[in-house]
Amino acid sequence: MIRSLCLLAMFLLVPGFTIGPTAQRPTSKTLEIYVVDVEGGNATLFVAPSGESLLVDTGNGGPQGQGPANAVRDAGRIMAAASDAGIHQIDQLITTHWHSDHFGGMAELASRIPIRHFIDHGANAPDDFAHASADEFPADVPPRMTLQTIPFNVTGNPTLALPTGFSRSGLPLGMQVVGRAFDEPTVFRIGAAYEAAAGWIHQRPSLASPVAA
């Protein structure tokens, strides 16, 4: 989760994150964000005022069980968001990690709308908890990951992910700040104070050039 948020922030904060003149509609005055209901996992569409688009993850899927039906469902919901935004292609697609509830709808979506650039972190590292399907993940995930994320998904405590540097391989690292229920202001103040003192928010890792689809 922390790595996903840092990756998203990295692309949104870099000026001109798209490549080439890809605007698809007249400019608007706002950044439009569509959080697509994929019933678990993630699919979030960002459309810039220029009309350029960024999609983070593609929802559920996979070859087993309800996977194929879920891929059709979630690709359809992403397409509905794209239609509402008035776009006819996805300029950038970021896949945060290789769990079937985050990339499962990719193939189905790609059959419905052009995707110009695919961005991911490459092959899984040993700490990515790679599994054949998302259903296997909860049983085998290390306790340190469970303790950091699952309780706050249940309790609804406000949380904030902050950058804390980079790994030896150049991947962004982060920490999670957790506050008392309904005390978002304190969490934001802690985050602002840490960012001002540490300065990591002003540093960027080197980026490889995305490969065109």
d(CA 75, CA 96): 17
Residue 47 pairs with which residues in a beta bridge?
Answer: 32, 53
Q: How confident is the model at residue 176 (pLDDT cuts 50, 70, 90)?
A: confident
d(CA 129, CA 126): 7
Residue 160 pairs with which residues in a beta bridge?
Answer: 177
What pLDDT does 35 receive?
93
List pLDDT tens digits, range 57-89.
999 987 777 889 999 999 999 999 999 999 999
In this prediction, residues 32-58 reach a mean pLDDT of 92
Q: What is the value of pTM for the model shown?
A: 0.53
Report whether pLDDT(16) > 80. no
Give the sign of the dihedral formed by CA 97, CA 102, CA 108, CA 112: negative
Ranges of H-type helices in 86-131: 100-103, 106-110
Q: How confident is the model at residue 11 (pLDDT cuts 50, 70, 90)?
A: very low
d(CA 202, CA 210): 22
Q: How confident is the model at residue 10 (pLDDT cuts 50, 70, 90)?
A: very low
